[in-house]
Amino acid sequence: MKKLQSLIIVSFLLFSFCACAQNNAHDIIYKQGNSELQGYLRKPAKAGKAPGIVILHAWMGLTDHEKNTADRLSALGYYALAADVYGKGVRPANASEAGKLAHQYEVDDYTIYIARIQAAIDEIIKQGADPNNIVVIGYCFGGFGAIEAARSNLAIKGIVSFHGGLLKDPTGATSAIKPKVLILHGNDDPTQPKNADIDIRNEMEARNADYQMMYFGHTVHSFTDKTAGNDMSKGVAYNASSDKRSWQYMLDFLKEVFNK
């Protein structure tokens, strides 16, 4: 009887743990102005204040790629919010639509892009993250957004850009960049403007940024995305080695900025 009771208790605890783990991951509706945004939130298992990481999606909108990143970061003890830039229910059906949406936020509605990044920061703090320990990371289109968050001096510790757009700052600002910057890029990425890497280094130097730029050899665009395939000739391909290395660079960066 005692063995049976013990088995029942253990089974109940395991079920409760699994249920809590599942309930910890959920879509979340938050707002920027009057616009509804639908992100994906993961909280750390341990209750209490912990650093928060906002994840900005690539040009196809919020996908399993960003959600998986949130899951992994949550398992490491961070609050993680895979943010929504485009708005609830706005998801491009193909690359053509994605290109138009990305251009809209990178150029036409640049200030709204920054406002939606700020809305995600506000939301993750509202959900329990330490307001003094926030980092923004992003992929591709989201990588550009992360760099812009640093350029705009949002109240964050730092940013990480994975194969992000190395476009010039639309505002032409010259003030010092306060958040620390980590840019992780494929050396053979064909999507960037000519001399973009030189231009952004010059900007970081001129604006006295604490920055790091890591380039991965034999690596093209979207190297962290397993759905990108492996045909480098297309200019977009997954690279397992660069994916693993870039993730480790990010983890080391997070430890540094969060003093962990």
| β-strands 134-139, 158-162 pairing | parallel
**Residues of the chain above pLDDT 90, percent:** 83
What residue type is 167 in one-letter code?
L
102, 138 in Cβ contact below 8 A? no
Q: Residue 134's CB: how many other CB atoms inside 10 A? A: 27
* pLDDT computed for residue 10 by the predictor: 41
Buried b (16+ CB within 10 A) or exposed e, 146-159: bbbbbbbebebbbb
* Domain boundaries of the chain, sorted by first residue: 27-258
The per-residue pLDDT for range 10-52, each reduced to its tens digit, is 444 444 444 444 447 799 999 999 999 999 999 999 888 999 9
CATH number of 27-258: 3.40.50.1820
The per-residue pLDDT for range 211-246, each reduced to its tens digit, is 999 999 999 999 999 999 999 999 999 999 999 999
- What's the mean pLDDT in 155-161? 99
The per-residue pLDDT for range 86-100, each reduced to its tens digit, is 999 999 999 999 999
Q: Is the pTM of this model over 0.85?
A: yes
